[in-house]
Amino acid sequence: MTRRDNSTPADPGRRDAMKCMSWAGAGVLWTISGGVASSVLAGGAEAAPRTSGTLDFVQISDTHIGFDKAANPDTLGTMKAAIAKIKALPVRPAFAIHTGDITHLSKADEFDTADQMLKDLNVPIFYTPGEHDTLDEGNGTLFLQRYGKETVGGKGWRSYDVAGVHFIGLVNTIGLNPDGQGRLGAEQTAWLAKDVAHLSASTPIVVYAHMPLFDAYVPWGWGTVDAQPALAPLRRFGSVTVLNGHIHQVITKTEGAITFHTARSTAYPQAAAGTPGASPGPLKVAADQLRGVLGVRQIDRVHGHGPLTLVDQTLA
Amino acid sequence: MHANSAVSVRPVAAIAALAMLLAAAPIAPNPRDAAAEAAAMKTNVKISMFAFSPGVTTVPAGSSVTWTNNDDDAHSVVADNKAFRSAPLDTGDSYSFTFTTPGVYPYHCGLHPQMVGKIVVTR
C-alpha cells in the first residue's frame, strides 16, 4: 500500500486543483531554475531577484512530525499527501514557506524526517519556528543551527525580495509571553522598523510567523503580545499580507491594508476558538473527515501587480 | 497482661527510633531535618485539559513530585525561577523532581505558559 507519488495527471486531487487554479495558468510564470531560487536562499535581500513577473509560492504549516496520537496516528502520511498536493499544482511554486511546528517535540530525528520528506517538493523552503520546534535544551538552538544560518544574527528572522514583493519572516515563539501568546521582542521589533524604512509604500509586503500576529483568541494564547507595535511601521504600505500557523485552521482578519491569514495544519485539526469544553490541543475527528480539515495554501500574484491571491486547499 | 505487653513494646520502639536517628545522622545531623526526611513523600500532579491538577501541591522537604501528561498535546514543566525544567512530555510521559529546600516554587508549561501551578515545600 505504499503510494510513493500520487501526483499523476489522473489523480482526482489534481483535477480539483486545476478547477480552482485555472486562472493561475493565465499569467507568465516567474520561472525558477534552481540557480535563481538558490540565490534567494544564499544571498538574502541583496542578491534576491527583483523581477516583475508572476509570483507563486506555497505555505505549509504545523506538520508536527513525531505526533502519532488519536487525532492523527499518521502525520507522515498526511504530510506526504500535502507534498503530493503541491506537486500536482498546475503552476509550480517558486518556493515554500513553512510557518512552524515542523516537529512535535523538537527532536533531531523529527527534524531529519521532515527535512528529508520536504526535499521532495524540490523548491527552496524558508522555515520559521513554532513553539514545538524550540523545546530542546538550548531553547531553539537545534532549529537555529539547522535553519538559522541565513537569518539576521542567526536568530531566525530575515527578509528577502522575490518578484518585487518584500518578504519578512519573523520569530514569535522563542520567549513566549506568560499568558501563552507569542512575543517578538524589542530587538526584532527594532529590526523590522529599520528593515522596511527604505521601502516605497507601494511595495507589496508578505509577513509570516508561527503564532497569529493578531488576536485570534487570546485566552488560548492565540496571538502575539507585541504584534501591534511591531507591525506599526507596516501600516503605511498599500498591501500587507500576514501568514501564520499555530491554530490549525483558516481565520482571516483585515485591519486597513493589512490582512491576516492563519493556515491549516497537515497533521491534525484544533477546535474553533473558545469552543466550550475544548482546549487548544489536538482535536479528533472521524477518520474519513480528517483530510478535509488538513491542508496547504497557495499564494499568487499575477503579472507583478494587483493583490496577492490565496487559495487554501484541503488534503481531501 | 496488658501492662506487660505494652512494656514489652517500648524497647522495640526506642530501638527503632534510635536506628532511624542513626541512619539519618550522616546525611542530616539536624534532628529537625531528620524529622522532615521521615515525612518526605512521593506525590503526583496530573496534566490534563491544559491544566495542572492539583494547581497547588504542598509537600515536606525531601519529597519527590511526579508530573504525568494525560493530554494528547505535549507539555512541559518549567520552574519560574529555573530551579527545574523537564524535557517536553509527550502523552503518558512523566517527570519527577525532588524538593530539598523549603520554599514556594511557581512553575508553568514551557509550551503553554498560561498553564501554571505551584509547589509549596515545608520543613
- Please name the residue of chain A whose CA is at the shortest distance from the CA of residue B73: A281
List C-alpha distances in Å: A110 to A75, A127, A138, B87: 11, 15, 16, 15
Q: Which of A240, A245, A234 is closest to A294 using CA atoms?
A: A245
- Please name the residue of chain B whose CA is at the shortest distance from the CA of residue A277: B49
Residue B34 confidence (pLDDT): 57
Least confident of A35-39, A108-112, B55-59: A35-39
User: Is residue A280 reached through a cis peptide bond, with omega within 30 degrees of 0 on the bond before it?
Assistant: no
At B64, which amino acid appears? S
The three-point CA angle A171-A174-A176 to 5° equals 110
Mean pLDDT of chain B: 81
A283 exposure class (CB count in 10 Å sphere: 0-12, 13-18, 19+): buried
B76 vs A contacts (CB less than 8 Å) = 135
| pTM (2 d.p.) | 0.81
Report the pLDDT averaged over residues A188-196.
98
Whether B69 and chain A come into contact, CB under 8 Å, resolves to: no
Whether residue A214 has pLDDT greater than 90: yes
Least confident of A18-27, A63-72, A278-287, B92-101: A18-27
Q: Which residue has the cell 532549529?
A: A143
Whether A148 and chain B come into contact, CB under 8 Å, resolves to: no
Cell of A60: 505549509
Which of A176, A218, A268, A285 is best to mutate for the B interface (most B CBs within 10 A)? Answer: A176
What was the ipTM of the complex prediction?
A: 0.80
Contact predicate B119/B78, CB 8 Å: no
